[in-house]
Amino acid sequence: MADRSERVRRVWRRTFSLSWPIAIQQTFNTLMRTVDVIVTGLFSPAAVAAVGLADLYAQLPLRIGLGLGTGAIALSSQDTGRGAETTRDRAITQAFLIGFLAGVPLVVAGLAISEPLIALLGAEPAVVEMAGRYLALVFAAAPMRIVGLVGARSLQGTGDTRTPMVVNGLANAINIAATVGLGLGVGPLPDLGIVGVGLATAVSRTVEAVAMTAAIASERTGLAFARPRSLTITRQLVAVSLPNFAEGMSTSLANFPFNALLLTFGTEVTAAYHIGRRIYQQFAGPLYRSFNVAASVIVGQTLGDGRPDDARFAGLAIAALSVATLSLAGLGLVVGAMPIARLFTSDAATLAYAVDFARVFGVSMVFFGLFFPISGSLRGASDTRTPFYARFTGTFGFMLGFAYLAGVTLGYGLPGVYAGIVLTYAWWTLVVAVGFAWGDWAETAAAMMAKRAEVSD
């Protein structure tokens, strides 16, 4: 028993060492989006809805970047654990190149069809106009957004979580200052409204991508760019990345009909949902995302070192720490929902709905506390399919299917939608827990590393 307790403490100490820079990074990341919502909330509920609807499409570069980043962190952590630096550098270089090229079509789409994309959601004309201008600017920086995400995950896979924290912190500080300055016309700066908010995002993402690329190219980090020479690495990178991209996109695509469902209850309800979502992401996002990445790094490196039993133990220990932490955060969110929501809106109807949504997300935190570290452990082992199955079935089965059935067909209204949200996250957790307990993820990781070893030089 004493030996097991010491093993848990070692895992927790390493988790904390990796997690605190990620938590700080994610705090500034979510603060950037929170400031966007607060500033647009000063314009009108329609402006909040416009940013929220545009962000549905803006999740495309995010999902591409996170998908490729998942492949990069899996291969980077495993190859770091087994000391295969050449293979690791070739993998992350390929992730950079693929990511940048994948973002180019989004630039074209933003310039050509941003407003029609928003109109498809059934929004009011004023919302369509504002959201279209904002989306065009965000899509203009899509290649840079993807490169920044891939670079951060590549470094984190080696155990370097501080460099991404510094780079991302700088970029987000620029974004926050520019959002306030250009969105509200502070001092000598022009008052550009929602265009200023979008421009701030585009500039900060460009700064982030350039700085991340420079950091890897320099001698200050353990990574380096290397000429790709192996299709085996390419295939593995794509094989790990695609299910994660599909996982994220299943949630993002489901958000389109889900927001259309919310719009049937009114613009205030839609704005309130995005406020409630922003609140929980600001307060809990840094925690569950840091646990997710730490689990990927620790499990991946431990598997690379040839210790699958220790990798499984580490994944469980991180999940225990995560669920305890996130449960406390959820309780705080339930209790403090009203004063926190007041920071985002003064509209009485929007405020009331926002408090309800924030409390729904607060109740769901216990499931977040389990889902994210367990899915992170699976991704560190290159198993990205199980988290995809979890999100796809849960999101379409409960967030859409159950919410529509209970909220509209059976006439329960918004309480039916709230229940659908909670059940979604509960299902996500159940599926990844089953996959972690009985899946063959350790064997899969070992087989992939063996193939990379054959083409390492």
Lowest-confidence region among 46-55, 251-260, 268-277, 298-307: 46-55
Average pLDDT score over residue span 233-249: 88
Average pLDDT score over residue span 219-247: 85
Looking at residue 228, what DSSP letter applies? Answer: -
**For residue 1, what pLDDT is reported?**
58
**For residue 344, what pLDDT is reported?**
80
Answer whether residue 457 shows pLDDT above 70: no
Q: Are 61 and 147 within 8 A, CB to CB?
A: no
Q: Show the tokens assigned to 451.
A: 């193939």
The burial class, CB within 10 Å (0-12 / 13-18 / 19+), for 207 is: buried
**For residue 253, what pLDDT is reported?**
81
Answer whether residue 208 shows pLDDT above 90: yes
How far, in Å, are 133, 193, 233, 262 from residue 199 at the CA level?
10, 10, 37, 28
**For residue 430, what pLDDT is reported?**
97
Q: Are 372 and 378 within 8 A, CB to CB?
A: no
Average pLDDT score over residue span 125-131: 79
**For residue 320, what pLDDT is reported?**
95
Q: Is the dihedral of CA 123, 125, 127, 129 positive or negative?
A: positive
141-170 pLDDT tens trace:
999 999 999 999 999 988 888 999 999 889
Answer whether residue 369 shows pLDDT above 80: yes
**For residue 455, what pLDDT is reported?**
67
Query: Which string of DSSP letters, residue by residue, matches 100-140?
Result: HHHHHHHHHHHHHHHHHHHHTTT--HHHHHHHHHHHHHHHH
How far, in Å, are 148, 198, 214, 282 from residue 64 at the CA level?
11, 20, 21, 22
